[in-house]
Copies of this chain bind each other. A is one copy, B any other.
Amino acid sequence: MTKPTPLSGFPELLPAQRIAELAVIDHLRRTFELHGFASIETRIVETLDRLAKGGEIDKEIYVLRRLHADDDSSDSGLALHFDLTVPFARYVLENSGRLEFPFRRYQIQKAWRGERPQEGRFREFTQADVDIVARDELGLHYDVEVARVMAEALADLPLPPMTLQTNSRRLIEGFYRGLGVADPHLVISIMDKLDKAAAEVISRRLVDEAGLDDEQALLCLRLAEIRTRDTSFVEQVRALGVEHELLETGLTELAAVIDGCADVSSDRFRVEANLRIARGLDYYTGTVFEIYMEGHESLGSVGGGGRYDA
């Protein structure tokens, strides 16, 4: 057998590295289980029609076919999952009559993306998810619960300190509505690029693309600068003089999350209100968060999530 060479994007660990990986996975698992999250594993394939929604990620999907398909009808349109959210949503729907709600599950499993090879991007990678799903409405205290579980899972790992930065989609959407902008979601998508572009560029785009005037654009940028470790962000937002019912709801909810996490903040894990966080134009409807590792901000967030109400 000729000596094989590694496949780009499909990393494999030596035994000593694997022990470290297992220690991390075991710690996450134990934490999730102590908080009452049930383990599930979903199959690695989903039907292509459920997976591919015309989004940015579609081109990274790996499709399966049998090598010598004499009858490929039952395999047609199967593809590897690219995250654990789509499979979990499908699993809950498929088994809804056999699960107890609110259903807490954790899932630590590999996912695959046909990425172009580049630093820090893998084609095969392990993802660890926790979710709580309700049949009807899910109380706000579940947002706090998820943040606390994340804090406990990550604070005790032998890794650099981490920060969970949280925001509320209702807060920012309410603020933009209170400002009187015509298309709040377009503003969210432009503001979401603030980490990658200069404030002047974002401001110009808010004016040119979203039709804001200079004063409105300035207030959007001022909102995005607010970042506090306690609930003092509420006063800072109010000082900007914008009013809207949805903004009030968002302020109340985000303050509840920050308050609810006050006692888990430590040197190893901080919880902060960061009014710049938006998580793109996704399906999120309430609390959103991103987790960053100190000294490794260039990696981008090492975790994230949020609430989505149907």
Contacts and interface: CB of A to CB of B under 8 A. Distances in A.
Contacts of A282: none
Contacts of A34: none
A15 B43 contact: no
Interface in A85-128: 89-91, 93-95, 98-99, 105, 110, 112, 114, 116-117, 124
A28 to B, nearest CB: 14
A5 to B, nearest CB: 7
29 contacts: A1-B93, A3-B94, A4-B47, A4-B90, A6-B94, A7-B43, A10-B45, A12-B40, A12-B41, A12-B42, A12-B43, A14-B99, A15-B40, A18-B41, A19-B38, A44-B44, A44-B110, A44-B124, A45-B124, A58-B67, A60-B66, A61-B66, A62-B67, A62-B75, A63-B64, A66-B114, A67-B79, A71-B116, A74-B117
A63 B59 contact: no
A36 to B, nearest CB: 11
A91 B13 CA distance: 10
Nearest to A2: B93
A22 interface: yes
Contact of A89 (B1, B39, B43, B66): B1
A4 B77 CA distance: 14
B22 A39 contact: yes
Given A58-B68, A64-B62, A94 B4 contact: yes
B18 A39 contact: yes
Contacts of A278: none
Contacts of A89: 1
A8 interface: yes
A52 interface: yes
A91 B7 CA distance: 12
Given A66-B59, A80-B64, A74 B41 contact: no
Interface of A: 1, 3-15, 18-19, 22, 38-45, 47-48, 50, 52, 58-71, 74-75, 78-80, 89-91, 93-95, 98-99, 105, 110, 112, 114, 116-117, 124
A15 B105 contact: yes
Contacts of A98: 14
Most B CB contacts (10 A, CB to CB) among A18, A69, A114 go to: A114
A124 B43 contact: yes
User: Closest 7 A-B residue pairs measured CB to CB?
Assistant: A15-B38, A10-B43, A66-B114, A59-B68, A61-B67, A62-B64, A4-B94
B93 A3 contact: yes
Nearest to A69: B114
Most B CB contacts (10 A, CB to CB) among A67, A91, A124 go to: A67
Given A7-B45, A74-B8, A95 B62 contact: no
Contacts of A63: 64-67
